Each structure stands twice: as structure tokens, then as C-alpha cells.
Amino acid sequence: MTKFYWLQDPKEWQCTGDLSRVRHKWGGLPGLHCPECGATWAGSMTGYPSADLSSLPERKELEVPRPEPFDEFVRLRERVRPFVPSGAQLLPGAEFGPLVGTASGTFSSLFFYFVQTPVIQREALERLQAEGIRGLRGFPTELRFRQKKHPELLELELLPQGRLHVDCLPPDRPPPCEKCGRKGIKRPDDLILDAGSLPRELDLFRLADFESTFICTERFVDAVRRLELDGVDFREVPVR
């Protein structure tokens, strides 16, 4: 049985990389206001850098983050769906297109500190792919850098996949909203993965339940250690 690991920021952080002023070129889905549960929310952490929305007539409607009524959110989501990988989870706030804006500082080989914009240096990506790591798709960024000397950063498109096992969730949690799917619970400190929900062809992905959580396989950990790539630590997560 494959082991799975939760990616952690390194304890001794030596990078000064700053991506706080970058965004995805085409903007993102609005938040939604749900008539059923009454919540207004936008929980997605996922960027789809592969999505080219230049031909989408509604693309202007994605530029400004705002909450929309549920039906309007669904309308926009379905207009975007043909541009993202099939089966992609499109939560309110999901973003599209290459990264644009200004970056600064130094970057580790893998740089996941900003969870909406996981980036990797081109050389590191090519070496991981050469090791046979599955499902890594890196996309060119359109970043400007404050400094002249900087690495070539690619953004990884990491799809939300896999779920937590109910044994690690609070027993008294309310059921998810039937209309909008909002769960309204916080990520537990100790995770257990639901074996049947885990992807079989990917060595690195986000959790569908909590998109800010990056999970990888033992193969990925072994390759990162063998290649001595910096920027991430790993914590094993039980699978049930």
C-alpha cells in the first residue's frame, strides 16, 4: 500500500519569495450567496493556469471578486467548465489563467508557501518528471521580477482530489448544505485519508475537502529527497 504525505512548510524557512501581489490573469469565479444555508462564501484555493479564457464572452465578469446569488454563480461556473480539466472541482473563488504581477525575493525549488499559487523551478519540474513522477503539469507564468536574476518559475496545476476519512472529522458536524455543498467545518489538525477516494495516477494533488492541503505519494517524497530539492517538508498521513 502506497504511503501518503502532507506537504508542510519547512521549519527553517530561508526563502524570501513573495507572491502576495500576483494573481491569475483571467480572474476567478465569484463567491456565492446561498439561499438555502444563508452563507456567503468563496472557499476555493485552486488556480487553473491551463485555462485560456480569452474566447469566453463572460470573461469580464470574472475580473472583480464579489458574491453573487447562487444561480448566477452556477451560470458562470458552467460557462467556465469547458476550459478546465474534466471533472475539476470548481468552487466559488477558483481562478484561471497564468500568473501575472510582480514577484520578488528568493525561491526554493518547490515553493508552496502561497497555497493559491504553488510554483516550481523549471529545472526541478523536469528532474521530477524524468524520475517518473506522475501528473505534474507546470505552466509558464507571466511574472515580472523586482530583481534581474531570478529563477524560471512554473505554476503547478494541482487538481483537488481525494477526501478525508470521516474518522478524523468531528462527530457532531452538521451535514453539508444540500444546495451549495458548503461544509462549514475547519480542517482537523490530524488528518486521515479515505483510501477509496485517493487518485491512482497522481503523485501530488490538493485535497478536494480542503484545497489548501497538498498531499503526495511516497514516490514523490523519495524523488524530492533523492534529487535534494528544497522547499517542502513531509508529514505522513494515515489512510483508512
Nearer to Zn ion, 6 or 70 (CB): 70
Give the number of residues in contact with Zn ion, rule: CB under 5 A.
Answer: 7
Residue 23 · residue 143 · CB < 8 Å? no
Task: List the x/- string, 84-123, binding to Zn ion by CB under 5 A.
Answer: ----------------------------------------
Provide the edge-to-edge strand list for the sheet that holds 99-103: 22-24, 99-103, 142-145
How near is the Cβ of 60 to Zn ion at its closest, in Å?
27
Question: Would strands 214-217 and 4-8 be described as parallel, antiparallel, or unpaired?
Answer: antiparallel
CB of 27 to Zn ion, least distance (A): 23
123-182 positions binding Zn ion, by CB under 5 A: 177, 179-180, 182
> Least CB distance from residue 211 to Zn ion, whole Å?
18
How far apart CA 17 and CA 141 sit, in angstroms, is 15
C-alpha dihedral (79, 82, 87, 90), degrees to nearest 10: -30
The least CB distance from residue 115 to Zn ion, in Å, is 24
Residue 186 vs 200, nearer CB to Zn ion: 186
Joined grid coordinates for residue 29: 469565479
The smaller minimum CB distance to Zn ion, of residues 41 and 111, is found at 41
Q: What is the DSSP string of 169-228?
A: S-TTPPPPPTTT-----PPPSS--B-GGGS-SS-SEEEESSSTT-EEEEHHHHHHHHHTT
Residues 138 and 157: their CA atoms lie apart, in Å, by 6
Instruction: Provide φ and ψ at 45, rounded to 5°.
Output: -115, 5
53 binds Zn ion (CB under 5 A): no
Nearer to Zn ion, 170 or 181 (CB): 181
Q: Between 9 and 48, how does the x/- string for binding to Zn ion read (CB under 5 A)?
A: -------------------------x-xx-----------
> Which residues bind to Zn ion, rule: CB under 5 A?
34, 36-37, 177, 179-180, 182
